Structure 1
């Protein structure tokens, strides 16, 4: 039963994650003219899409690799490698998203890193970089002792969930900031809830629901990879769910 609920949750996550990305793309195309890579405001439009895709959806997928029941059995190295590779891809997309907004700011002569959204975002990316380096050097490379890995594992898990929470906060504050800027000179104020505001607010709520479901799966003890002493019991559970 636990395995069935897990896969049902994964299906819900896939749907929510896809909706988050597609909604952000639609918002940028329908209300803000689409995309370019030329320093213009159309280059900025890549920023929300790449950040939602990298820092929220792909980051979450990488974090949940060890929750797959298939990872409970067999060697850990392939799962560790996949976990690290997916996080690296998420980080590369995030860097491209940052480049898009910094390049736009340079082109438009807008000051960098002045808003709370930008402070949250850059802090999240910095912690993400540190987290990936720590995970790669301690948990993937073979030099670290079991004692060191056991000591750092709770810290690694804590910051994994914390980074996702900060990423969701950054997305929500970024959506709000973008709406204030785009609607302040428009025919309808943000407070009157024009169609763009309704759509973008719903996109933000989708990201929040997505993040909460990811955190629930990460914290659910019954879906964690078992310790060696519990391996046989979990293998039986896995066979029972097939």
Structure 2
């Protein structure tokens, strides 16, 4: 559809920038640092930024927008719920392993744990993320949850998810800045050596990636339609007549009908609309 072109452009940009962030963080630890290992030394610590960028940022970002992918609208809402939950669970596992790597390194090097603002906010983000996941599963994957509860909790679920995503990026920026200040001695961070410039570019790309994900997630015109409307769109083949969901049904300017299926969609949003 014509209106999908801006979405595909934004999604492609997010994917390219996200993969660039993963590439840059790997180059940082493999070229400028000691590489990757799990023996309690600096190479074990390097797993921390890699896993945070790959999981807690990249995977979480795409978990947020997985409902928006028009190619998945043929799938049932339950399947997409499991995809959303699965990506978030994988991101959480990455975050936990990243924290273990830091604690192991600190303990081996006799460095105090939890002394910086970065560590405080990072631990808070992981705990709140776990709470968000558990409550989300309880609300939207357990069929006994009343629909009225789901509708009432949905705005909180969406807002807290976006807030956590933005907070994780902010905490990551604090962490890489802290690492550069402590890790660069000759020359120092203030002297702008190549490593500092390289990692600053990584930080800029993380912000760009976050901005693209939040833009995609907050465009109401890119929301997944209700299962009824989605079926109608795909049944009509996605061509020039795909705005028609029934005979003689008045259409809105955004292509959705104002008749029966529109009422169905409104009821669907009120009772159980996912963060799509």
Q: Please, which runs of 5 or more residues in structure 1 have no aligned partner? A: none
Q: What does 1:32-43 align with in structure 2 at a 5 Å threshold?
A: 32-43=33-44
Q: What is the CA–CA distance in structure 1 between the aligned matches of 2:237 and 2:201, rounded to whole Å?
A: 37
Q: What is the CA–CA distance in structure 2 between the aligned matches of 1:139 and 1:4, rounded to whole Å?
A: 31
Q: What is the CA–CA distance in structure 2 between the aligned matches of 1:107 and 1:141, rounded to whole Å?
A: 43
Cα contact 2:77–2:227 (8 A) shared by 1: no
Q: Residue in 2 aligned with 1:170?
A: 171
Deviation (angstroms), 1:107? 0.6
Cα contact 1:168–1:211 (8 A) shared by 2: yes
Q: What is the CA–CA distance in structure 1 between the aligned matches of 2:196 and 2:154, rounded to whole Å?
A: 41
With over 3 angstroms needed to count, the CA separation of the structure-2 counterparts of 1:40 and 1:4, relative to structure 1, is: same
Cα contact 1:120–1:169 (8 A) shared by 2: no
With over 3 angstroms needed to count, the CA separation of the structure-2 counterparts of 1:67 and 1:16, relative to structure 1, is: same
Q: Residue in 2 aligned with 1:27?
A: 28
TM-score (structure 1 length as normaliser): 0.93
User: Is 1:93 matched with 2:123?
Assistant: no
Q: Residue in 2 aligned with 1:201?
A: 200
Q: What does 1:26-65 align with in structure 2 at a 5 Å threshold?
A: 26-65=27-66
Number of aligned residue pairs: give it. Answer: 240
1:20-65: per-residue Cα shift (whole Å, max 9, x none)?
1110011011111101101111100000000111110001111111
With over 3 angstroms needed to count, the CA separation of the structure-2 counterparts of 1:204 and 1:132, relative to structure 1, is: same
Q: What does 1:1-242 align with in structure 2 at a 5 Å threshold?
A: 1-183=2-184, 186-227=185-226, 239-240=238-239
Q: Residue in 1 aligned with 2:255?
A: none
Cα contact 1:72–1:234 (8 A) shared by 2: no
- Bigger shift: residues 62-71 or 210-219: 62-71
Q: What is the CA–CA distance in structure 2 between the aligned matches of 1:70 and 1:108, rounded to whole Å?
A: 49
- Bigger shift: residues 71-80 or 195-204: 71-80
Deviation (angstroms), 1:228? 6.6
Q: Please, which runs of 5 or more residues in structure 2 have no aligned partner? A: 243-276
Select the structure of larger CA radius of gyration. 2
- Bigger shift: residues 93-102 or 72-81: 72-81
Q: What is the CA–CA distance in structure 1 between the aligned matches of 2:93 and 2:13, rounded to whole Å?
A: 26
Deviation (angstroms), 1:226? 2.7
1:138-172: per-residue Cα shift (whole Å, max 9, x none)?
10111111101000111100011001100110110
Report SS of the residue matched to 2:35. coil
Cα contact 1:21–1:53 (8 A) shared by 2: yes
Report SS of the residue matched to 1:64. helix
1:81-107: per-residue Cα shift (whole Å, max 9, x none)?
111111111111111111100110111
More helix per residue:
1
Instruction: Tell me: higher relative CO, structure 1 or 2? Use CA pairs within 8 A at least 6 residues apart.
Output: 1
Deviation (angstroms), 1:224? 1.3
